[in-house]
Structure 1
């Protein structure tokens, strides 16, 4: 759920800026392609905040992106308490190392792939799915910012091959996106081929982040949430296991060739 204090602030700011611009709800609605009653419902909290609506509102009211920036904060503040420390570490990292045996890493997921993964949790409402999707896509912005972190991802070939008939289109799009990402100098995607039957990484996924001072922090995902790892002894184990899984992976060039072959197989 979104952070209520921040959401209330967004609604108040929206109304204040609209009134300051001397626009009625009907006049403002026409400019943002909403009805006056829909604008009223947003301002009164009777309608969920909509990212497209706030983007249009920022443009019409010349806010410099204030409202959409506040929505991003609301989404982040609304994340589970176990995830927030990692989100901060992720934003501050100079290097990220990710091993994911079952999925494409979240920072490299396409919108369609991410939505399908999030929607697989059948307890979530459509609004909750879209909110989590927006947060995931916003997190990806760290890879396109000035001076982005170095991101090294190791995945299993089986992840690229897992798709039934209805998922092939999404998987083809996702794999093409992986290839495009891997072509960037600060992103590396390496694949562990299916011929490697057993290795220590199969115990579970993990991510390591290194800050500007050279310190490391880790994150482990579970079915019930996640755990931030900051004890030196535990980090030493994860760093050792990272070396093990990366040693099992194909080279960067070989991995890209394998991904290209996978795209061809889905097309």
Structure 2
């Protein structure tokens, strides 16, 4: 019964541990070959750190397994994914460029673990176990930004998303804004904030994401309170691209967005 409940991620961790021990390598010895600390190797094998493509690509290189572990990760990412979201997640993983807009929250690809937990906990219907699984899935999705050839991510968010500070969330928001600033300094990530003084704009109708493949085609994704919807019909994609241009044009450039985030953080951080 226990083996029937084993997830693909569990299988990957078990095989990583088995191949390491069969090769006669301690966690420290394997870590040196893969350029990781022994503590990181232990955390991955125990499931205390999410699996990511960079780690598994190095495992494939050390063990000479071709692309086996990276391919297994693709299967793990689909474990438990609702059918309606699989088309978008596949497009997101293959995208060369991603454009994310959210009027009220930090986009999922840029969320910290603490911020994601606070957001998921606001849904009183979720158990702690369900929240843990959702967080693990979200952090696993973020690994695409650490690939050898990561997508170019451009994120636009409304300034209101930065002002969720309250006594219970000050530390969470401080960590999240610090993370956003660090992400904005990465060569493959651009973050733009629509300042509050802009007032009403088309983006307030709701969040959306666009992904462009190597072939140049675009796929969109719309999220709502119940489920999301992948958008690939030409007319609908064109509408989203037009909406993207509208929100991007009223947003601040990256350097001004970073300064705005620092100003928002200042009263809440030591």
TM over 0.5: yes
- Deviation at residue 161 of structure 1 after TM alignment: 0.8
Tell me, what secondary structure is at the counterpart of 2:155? strand
Is 1:123 aligned to 2:125, yes or no?
yes
Q: What whole-Å deviation, never above 9, does each CA across 1:30-54 have from its counterpart, x for those lacking one? A: xxxxxxxxxxxxxxxxxxx972399
Aligned to 1:136: 138
- Deviation at residue 7 of structure 1 after TM alignment: 2.5
Matches within 5 A, 1:41-60: 51-52=47-48
- Between the aligned partners of 2:192 and 2:241, the Cα distance in structure 1 is 17
Aligned to 2:28: none
- Between the aligned partners of 1:261 and 1:185, the Cα distance in structure 2 is 23
Counting matched residue pairs gives 232
Matches within 5 A, 1:212-251: 212-251=214-253
- CA separation of 1:6 and 1:88: change in aligned 2, threshold 3 A: farther
Q: What whole-Å deviation, never above 9, does each CA across 1:155-190 have from its counterpart, x for those lacking one? A: 011110122111010000100100000011111000
Tell me, what secondary structure is at the counterpart of 2:198? coil
- Deviation at residue 67 of structure 1 after TM alignment: 8.9
Aligned to 1:263: 265
- Deviation at residue 9 of structure 1 after TM alignment: 9.6
Aligned to 2:205: 203
Is 1:77 aligned to 2:79, yes or no?
yes
Is 1:101 aligned to 2:103, yes or no?
yes
Residue 116 (structure 2) aligned to one of 98, 105, 114: 114
Aligned to 1:173: 175
- Between the aligned partners of 2:92 and 2:144, the Cα distance in structure 1 is 8
TM-score (norm 2): 0.76
Q: Is the 8 A contact 1:72 1:138 kept in 2?
A: no
TM-score (norm 1): 0.77
Is 1:253 aligned to 2:255, yes or no?
yes
Aligned to 1:36: none
Q: Is the 8 A contact 1:6 1:73 kept in 2?
A: no
- Deviation at residue 222 of structure 1 after TM alignment: 0.8
Tell me, what secondary structure is at the counterpart of 1:52? coil
- CA separation of 1:174 and 1:64: change in aligned 2, threshold 3 A: farther
- Between the aligned partners of 2:141 and 2:195, the Cα distance in structure 1 is 28
